Amino acid sequence: MPAPPAVRAWRRWPAPPGYEAQWRRLLDAALELDLGPEDLAEGGLDTVAAAREWKPATVALYSKVARYGGIGLPLPRTPEPDPLRLDLLPLTQVRDDALEHLRTVAWCSLALAWPATVGQFRALRRDQVRATAHRLVIGTPDGDWAVSGALTGWHAWEEARNRFPVLAESPWVLPALRKGPGPASRVGGQLSSQALQVTFGKHAARTAGHLRAAARPRDREAVEALATAYTSLSYDSFRRLALAAGTEPVAPRGAVRAQRRAPRREG
């Protein structure tokens, strides 16, 4: 018996509760290629992802949404950059005074020594971060983490956001800089996990462009390899790389102080 048209097939699959917007975007992307839910279950999201130029984090998100809706897709792993050890310090360097850039630099600087999940960073409040003369201290119900090497990025971001009252009053370490499509979205509000993933991807790609533009002729081959790795880098991979370099995982283990084993600069 022939399969029903894709539009009719999708009508039989209700959106999973809480993911109606993401389900609609997945549906629209599939219908552009005349794919029904059964086609996705059989062939996966590769065709749709290629047509939409989705990054690995986006593919992971819509795979999860499809599974919640009852479509049996395998959940893809975010690919590890190659090589496993990657120089992440360029992502923590202040290059200009753009708010989005400074916000992500502060995030990456914290994450090198406090490799929390996206959800933990999304929920991190400013009153949980205290600056001392030599380091930042992040306080959580599970303990305190001392973060070295993040002061420069943190102070640059704090100074920039304090020039705008709505950002200065926001309780979030990583607040929204513009109003999004959702009715509850507002400047200074809490960012979604998806927005943070997209923000990180943009920052990594822009850093790659900066590295290429600033490369000296004798360093061009090494810089190109690093920049290429950055173009596919997601925050999940960044976090795994930080952990592989010796940073303590962020977990409920009491008063754990995460310290990088490799020496790092202050500031």
H or E element that contains 154:
helix 151-161
pLDDT in tens, the chain (267 residues): 445 688 888 888 888 888 889 999 999 999 988 888 888 888 888 888 888 888 888 888 888 888 888 888 755 555 555 546 789 999 999 999 999 999 999 999 999 999 999 999 999 999 999 999 999 999 988 788 899 899 999 999 999 999 999 999 999 999 999 887 767 789 999 998 888 999 999 999 999 999 999 998 888 888 999 999 998 899 989 998 888 876 666 765 433 344 333 334 444
pLDDT at 255: 34
| φ and ψ of 11, to 5 deg | -65, -20
In the chain, the amino acid numbered 66 is A
132 to each of 35, 113, 150, how far by Cα in Å? 56, 16, 11
The SS3 assignment for 149 reads coil
- The DSSP code for 172 is B
User: How far is Cα of residue 231 from the mean position of the Cα atoms in its chain?
Assistant: 13
Per-residue model confidence (pLDDT) at position 246: 67
Q: Are the beta carbons of 121 and 196 closer than 8 angstroms?
A: yes
Using a 10 angstrom Cβ sphere, with 0-12 exposed, 13-18 middle and 19 or more buried, the burial of residue 146 is middle
Task: State the pLDDT at residue 257.
Answer: 40
Distance CA 48, CA 59 (A): 9
The number of C-alpha atoms within 13 Å of 187 and in the hemisphere containing its C-beta is 11
Q: Find out whether 205 and 213 touch, Cβ atoms under 8 Å.
A: no
**pTM of the entire structure?**
0.65
Q: What confidence score (pLDDT) does residue 84 get?
A: 60
* Residue 79: DSSP 8-state: P
Tell me the angle at which helices 193-214 and 99-113 cross, rounded to the nearest 10 degrees.
100
Alpha-carbon torsion 172, 140, 119, 149, what sign?
A: positive
Whether 65 contacts 23, CB under 8 Å? yes
